[in-house]
Amino acid sequence: MLDKIKQNIQRLQGLGATYVDTRWYPFEESNNLMMWNGNLKSATSARESGVGIRVLYKGAWGFSASSDLSDLAALYDKAFDNARVAAERVTFPIRLAEKDAIQAKFESPCAVNPFEVPLADKVAFLKDMDEKLNQPGVFQRFCDMTFVRKQIVFVDSEGSHIEKIITEAFSTMQVSGLDDQGATYERSFRPSLKGDTRGWETLDRQLFSENAERIVKEMNQVRAADECPKEDRSVILLPNIMFLQTHETIGHALELDRILGYELAYAGGSFVTLDDFGKLRYGSQKLTARADATLPNSPGSFGYDDDGVPAQDNLLIDKGILVGAITGRQMVEEANARAKRQIFKGSGGANRATSFYRVPIERMTNINIDPGQDGTLDDIVSHTEKGIVLDTERSWSIGSNREQFHFGTEIGWLVEDGKITKVVRNPTYKGATLKFWNSLTAVGDRSTWQVKYVDNCGKGQPNQSMQLGHGVPVCRFDDVRIGE
């Protein structure tokens, strides 16, 4: 197979292709188990294999993919033909930033391969959690686990040959209950990513048990709580909502393809312009954000991206000032050329595809906020006069240029004069992105910092759903409108 891939790459180069790469997935397997109110609604496994071919010809991309490898040459020809037609409408011929030819292997750390764990053991885990959630006040119980394992062989016309094996484990549980009017309230738990691995071993039965008890208790508190007030307060975001705030208003806003207008047909653009790099005060001095694809235990770490560029740890925002973006080889070249200055020194190694049949695009890696100097959660609460502590996303909606947002959370705790006073239900908050990040007045220390995963980040056309991570501390923002 490898010989055929290399022969076809050479053949297309002979036809005038300036660059060709191939991602061959010998296998990608997935397994989802979902239990709802004690019913094993989903016990699903899947397996796929195939090839995706990307061809650059006269400054334009062509792509073709298939699970049928019986006529590989025809597939390469189709990708080339797609590029040939695309080359008829080019306004900025694509160039790729320099990179080294890499021969490498990467395997994500995994102590226990989840695909070697018997189905019965997985079902038993779910059943155990479901029983723990089955408590007074609980109307709906939901437990879910998803596992992915894939092998990716990347070969390009520049001499790179990279083989990766990536294993992921995602798990969650949720309860909901009704108030006396029949309105529903939820509380959920997703484990933080701890340790150095990301296999079956990350499903810690003790941790799930403890949190099952907690979320049932908190959901029942929410059911009986007063409505969230509609007013301006300080909001203290716990990691289970801070990760999404970071994801939506830093991560997506700093994807370079969005900034350059390559997602305007669907996902949207960004309020950030090329002129802003090095100058824009994105947030307060307390804000330092980075794209770090080197965390061992997160789905945002993958060894090498789908351009064949090594994973990196890059600053995005340094003490409030915008300094970097989430980048791949194509976009950094175009951005530097358009800006007529070198903003980016090379690819940030963040070009990824969700499967063999999708093309790589700029995706978040682990978009993290550095821990700060403002102590523990208790310290931050004790220094807050009028605030609300918020946890876990319930809804999220963001403007098309990521310039404004509206979030709902599962639970809120009002803070008055440095003390938590009571739980409120249906908490929401909204804001304008730059104003919000510039109102960041407290950043929790390392004790508050947690790595959260996102397993369904949508972007691109054809659509792609990507997995990534966020390491975030507890943060406080002042003068935020809540309750709308």
Partner 1 sequence: MKERILQTLSDLRKYALEKGYEVTLFYHEEDSYLMRFANSSISLNTNEHLIRLDITAYSGRKRASYELITDLGKLDEMKKGVDIAAEMVQHAQPLTYQPTVPVFAKSFSDESGFDAVLANISNEARLQYFNTAAAGLETEAVKLSGIFSSGTNIIAQVNTRSEHTQYFKTSDAQVTAVLSHSALKWEVTAEQSANKKPDLDPAALRQELAFLVEHYQADAPQQIPLGSYDIVFGTAATAEMLGFMNWIVFNGGSLKRGFSCLAEDKLGKKVFSDKFTLVDDPTRLETFPFKRDFTGIVRKPFPIFQDGVFQAFTWFQDDADEFGAKATGHTVGHKSLVLKGGDRQDVKSLPDLVKSRRDKDVLYIPFLHYMNIVNPSKGILTGSSRFGALLLKQDGSVTVPFNVRLTQSLLDIFGDKVAWLSRATVPYNSSQSYGARNPTALIVPKFVQVNDLEISHSNSSY
Closest approach of Cβ 448 to partner 1, in Å?
A: 27
Count the site residues for partner 1 by CB under 8 A. 84
Position among 23, 78, 223, 476 found at the interface with partner 1 (CB under 8 A)? 78
Closest approach of Cβ 168 to partner 1, in Å?
A: 18
279: tokens are 């100058």
Q: Tell whether residue 395 is a contact of partner 1 (CB under 8 A).
A: yes
How many CB atoms within 10 Å of residue 42? 13
Question: Which of residues 89 and 206 has its CB atom nearest to partner 1 in the complex?
Answer: 89
Q: Tell whether residue 4 is a contact of partner 1 (CB under 8 A).
A: no
Q: Tell whether residue 397 is a contact of partner 1 (CB under 8 A).
A: yes
Q: Quick one: DSSP state of residue 460?
A: T
Closest approach of Cβ 57 to partner 1, in Å?
A: 10
Question: Which of residues 79 and 317 has its CB atom nearest to partner 1 in the complex?
Answer: 79
Position among 7, 15, 16, 266 found at the interface with partner 1 (CB under 8 A)? 266
Q: Tell whether residue 398 is a contact of partner 1 (CB under 8 A).
A: yes
Question: Which of residues 85 and 111 has its CB atom nearest to partner 1 in the complex?
Answer: 85
Q: Using CA atoms, how far apart are residues 216 and 447, in angstroms rounded to an integer?
A: 25
Closest approach of Cβ 371 to partner 1, in Å?
A: 30
Q: Tell whether residue 373 is a contact of partner 1 (CB under 8 A).
A: no
Q: Which residues of 67-81 are buried (b: 16+ CB within 10 A; e: fewer)?
A: eeeeebeebbbbbbe
Q: Using CA atoms, how far apart are residues 286 and 443, in angstroms rounded to an integer?
A: 7
Of residues 137-176, which lie at the interface with partner 1 (CB under 8 A)?
A: 139-140, 176
Question: Which of residues 385 and 479 has its CB atom nearest to partner 1 in the complex?
Answer: 479
Pick from 9, 314, 299: which is nearest to 154 by CA? 9
Q: Using CA atoms, how far apart are residues 173 and 145, in angstroms rounded to an integer?
A: 9
C-alpha pair distances (Å), 271 with each of 101, 189, 401, 402: 35, 33, 5, 7
Q: Which helix (H) or strand (E) element contains residue 337?
A: helix 329-339
How many CB atoms within 10 Å of residue 43? 14
**Considering only 12-20, 35-43, 291-299, 312-320, which stretch makes contact with partner 1 by CB under 8 A?**
35-43
**Considering only 155-163, 164-172, 397-405, 467-475, which stretch makes contact with partner 1 by CB under 8 A?**
397-405
Question: Which of residues 95 and 383 has its CB atom nearest to partner 1 in the complex?
Answer: 95
Pick from 159, 169, 220: which is nearest to 197 by CA? 169
Of residues 340-369, which lie at the interface with partner 1 (CB under 8 A)?
A: 357, 359
Q: Where are the alpha helices (DSSP H) in 229-376?
A: 239-246, 256-259, 329-339
Of residues 184-213, which lie at the interface with partner 1 (CB under 8 A)?
A: 184
Q: Tell whether residue 263 is a contact of partner 1 (CB under 8 A).
A: yes
Q: Which helix (H) or strand (E) element contains residue 55?
A: strand 39-57
Give strand pairing partners of 393. Answer: 409
Of residues 37-76, which lie at the interface with partner 1 (CB under 8 A)?
A: 37-50, 60-68, 70
Q: Using CA atoms, how far apart are residues 179 and 479, in angstroms rounded to an integer?
A: 30
**Considering only 276-284, 319-327, 365-373, 396-404, which stretch makes contact with partner 1 by CB under 8 A?**
396-404
Question: Which of residues 260 and 381 has its CB atom nearest to partner 1 in the complex?
Answer: 260
Closest approach of Cβ 148 to partner 1, in Å?
A: 13
In contact, 413 and 389? CB cutoff 8 Å: yes
**Considering only 13-21, 101-109, 181-189, 213-221, which stretch makes contact with partner 1 by CB under 8 A?**
181-189
Closest approach of Cβ 370 to partner 1, in Å?
A: 28
Closest approach of Cβ 364 to partner 1, in Å?
A: 17
Residues 259, 465, 349, 73, CA torsion sign:
negative
Pick from 310, 410, 406, 295: which is nearest to 351 by CA? 310
Question: Which of residues 60 and 212 has its CB atom nearest to partner 1 in the complex?
Answer: 60
The contacts of residue 477 (CB under 8 Å, 6+ apart) are 234, 235, 237, 431, 436, 437, 439, 440, 441
Q: Tell whether residue 123 is a contact of partner 1 (CB under 8 A).
A: yes
Contact code string over 83-102 relative to partner 1, x by CB under 8 A: x-xx-xxxxx----------
Q: Using CA atoms, how far apart are residues 483 and 430, in angstroms rounded to an integer?
A: 9
Position among 246, 327, 404, 450 found at the interface with partner 1 (CB under 8 A)? 404
Of residues 231-260, which lie at the interface with partner 1 (CB under 8 A)?
A: 260
Closest approach of Cβ 27 to partner 1, in Å?
A: 10
Position among 271, 277, 436, 437 found at the interface with partner 1 (CB under 8 A)? 271
What is the rounded radius of gyration, in angstroms, for the C-alpha atoms of the chain?
Answer: 24
Q: Using CA atoms, how far apart are residues 381 and 376, in angstroms rounded to an integer?
A: 9
In contact, 191 and 204? CB cutoff 8 Å: yes
Closest approach of Cβ 172 to partner 1, in Å?
A: 16
3-state secondary structure of 80: helix
